[in-house]
Amino acid sequence: MKVYKEFKKRRDRLASILDDSVAIIVNSKESIRNKDCHYPFRSESNFHYISGFPEPETIVMIFGGKNPKSIIFCQPKDEVKEVWNGVIIGPEKASKDFLFDEGYPLSAAHKLIPKFIKSKKIFLLPSSRIDRILTPKWFEINNKLREDLSEILDDMRVVKNDFEINLMRRSANISANAHIQAMKLTKPNKYEYEIEGEILNQFFRKGARNPAYSSIVASGINGCTLHYVENDSQMKDGDLLLIDAGCEVGSYASDITRTFPVNGKFSFAQKEIYQLVLSAQKAAIEKVKVGHFFDDPHREALKIIIDGLIDLGILIGSRDEVYEKELYKKFFMHRTSHWLGLDVHDVGKYLSKNNKSQAVKFTEGNVLTIEPGCYIRPSDHVSQEFWGIGVRIEDDVLVTPDGHDVLSKNAPKEIKELEEIIGISNA
Ligand code: GLY
Ligand code: MN
Ligand code: MN
């Protein structure tokens, strides 16, 4: 029951922001994979955030004002369906166990929702999924009073409390351990999917039932494709292996990337690039502090990577020229950070509300990734020893009152540590 109090607290907080308005939040439908088979169901993140209720096609209404309350519309009990698909919670138990003031069967929504909203202002999420469940006709009477709920929920979700941080720590620890096991099993001639299998095995064995996103297990030149997910190449002696993989715990994501040599020994060129990205990553992490701007870590990482690539003769020109002409984007084409939470690319503003040309500042309880990278495709202008090197190093970082805490710190990233671990299950 303790965990449901946490969800009720969030609804109470939302109600206090809503004044006399009402918020309506809907869970998604199941998605069909192919005939009679569904993708594993996962609640829509905002719906999970305010309810913790695990069933699809459910509607929650939260009323602000003098008599705040929250109600739920869900599937009714059905003995026949339950024989096939397991227990349906039902409106009565839903309201009692999940701490709603009232619970109704979904079929009552078309009558009750128009009555409940009358001429109130309604806050809705702009997701297309919502309109597949809510009937737009319900809102015709007060269409002009429709407001966007996402701004309120995004601001709530971007600051994590201890309950959420605890889940994110567990998620990061399970993922860090999976990365270590993957390193131990890596050796030349194995296939990328063997390593992917080990990562999923470790997630499941520790009770994390979902990856937070499709794992990237990319050897050699595959590491230069940012969203490579085929994971079906044979790993070659001399390749690097880039693994970007994280699980979900309590629906909270971790997002970790590690890069290491398949044969356990960095070549000279691989070491140069790896050390450069690692220095940039560490310096970027040091910029994570209350009051610093969201883009401070990226600026720092970029500065170090630009200088390093100029020193190695991979980029030609002065730092200013490379920066202004964005020549670095050939090798470092993505940003260093995104918010992390219920969604791997979590909600939350990146730009200040009052000054859209300025990044937001960090506050205590923010969680973000720090993930600079460097990807070198074969090119006439680059010495051949660097071709096919793709390196990204990604950690999950919590903003604390006096600095930061790297939630994913258990995943090794120093060259010496990596060289010691790789392949030790195969020795
Ligand atoms: N794994 C997705 C990302 O790193 O943003
Ligand atoms: Mn990632
Ligand atoms: Mn990421």
Q: What is the pLDDT of residues 109-159, one digit of tens each?
A: 989 998 898 878 889 887 645 556 666 666 665 565 778 999 999 999 999
Give the structural domain span for 344. 162-421
Q: Determine the distance separating the centroid of ligand 1 and the alpha carbon of 241, expressed in angstroms.
A: 16
- Average pLDDT of the segment spanning 226-253: 98
Do the domain assignments include residue 426?
no
Residues 130, 183, single domain; the answer is no
Query: 427 pLDDT exceeds 60?
Result: no
Same domain, 114 and 191: no
| pLDDT tens track for 10-31 | 999 999 999 999 999 999 889 9
Cβ–ligand 1 distance for 395 under 6 Å, the answer no
**CATH number for position 321:** 3.90.230.10
Residues 319 and 388 in one domain: yes
The predicted pLDDT at position 356 comes to 86
**Residue 255 neighbours by CB under 8 Å, 6+ apart:** 175, 212, 213, 244, 246, 340, 344, 369, 371, 394, 396
pLDDT the model gives residue 131: 58
Whether residues 117 and 199 fall in one domain: no
Nearest CA owner, ligand 1 atom 5: 345
Q: Are residues 94 and 192 both part of a single domain?
A: no
Q: Work out which ligand 1 atom sits closest to the CA atom of 216.
A: 1
Q: Is 427 within the bounds of a domain?
A: no
* pLDDT computed for residue 142 by the predictor: 55
Q: Is residue 417 part of a domain?
A: yes
Residue 145 falls inside a structural domain: yes
Q: How many domains does the chain have?
A: 2
Average pLDDT, the chain: 94
pLDDT (0 to 100) of residue 2:
67
Yes or no: say if 74 and 53 are a contact pair by the CB < 8 Å rule. yes
Q: Of 141, 157, 173, which residue is a domain's last?
A: 157
- Which CATH number does the domain housing residue 101 bear? 3.40.350.10
pLDDT single digits (tens) 39-79: 999 999 999 999 999 999 999 999 999 999 999 999 999 99
Give me the mean pLDDT over the 364-370 stretch: 99
Report the pLDDT value the prediction gives residue 3, as an integer from 0 to 100.
82
Q: Does 184 lie in the same domain as 142? A: no
Position 149 in a domain:
yes
Using DSSP, state whether 219 is helix, strand or coil. strand
Same domain, 367 and 299: yes
Name which of 88-97, 131-140, 305-314, 384-393 the model is least confident about. Answer: 131-140
C-alpha dihedral (199, 204, 209, 210), degrees to nearest 10: 10
Ligand 1 in reach of 344 Cβ (< 6 A): yes
| pLDDT interval class at 243 (50, 70, 90) | very high
The set of residues, in sequence order, having a beta carbon less than 8 Å from that of 354 and lying 6+ positions away, is none
User: Is residue 176 a part of any domain in this protein?
Assistant: yes
> Who has greater pLDDT, 259 or 36?
259
Task: Judge if 63 and 201 occupy the same domain.
Answer: no
Rounded distance from Cα 28 to ligand 1 centre (Å): 23
Q: Are 192 and 240 part of one and the same domain?
A: yes
| Average of per-residue pLDDT across 392-400 | 99
79 and 173 in a single domain? The answer is no
For the entire predicted model, the pTM comes to: 0.96
Q: In the listed set 106, 128, 157, which residue is the last one of a domain according to the structure?
A: 157
- The pLDDT of residue 132: 61
Query: Which atom from ligand 1 is nearest to the alpha carbon of 334?
Result: 5
214 and 124 inside one domain: no
For residues 105 and 170, membership in a common domain is answered with: no
Check: CB of residue 60 under 8 Å from CB of residue 51: yes
Which of the listed residues 138, 157, 176 is the one where a domain comes to its end? 157
Minimum mean pLDDT range among 114-128, 313-327, 388-402, 405-419: 114-128
* Residue 351: pLDDT band with limits 50, 70, 90: very high
Span 174-196, average pLDDT: 98
Q: For residue 270, what pLDDT band results from cuts at 50, 70 and 90?
A: very high
> Which of the pair, 336 or 137, is modelled with greater confidence?
336
CA of 245 to the centre of ligand 2 (A): 6
State how far the alpha carbon of 242 is from the alpha carbons of 258, 259, 290, 371, 390, in Å: 6, 4, 31, 12, 7
**Domain contains 296:** yes
In a domain, residue 358? The reply is yes
213 C-beta closer than 6 A to ligand 1: yes
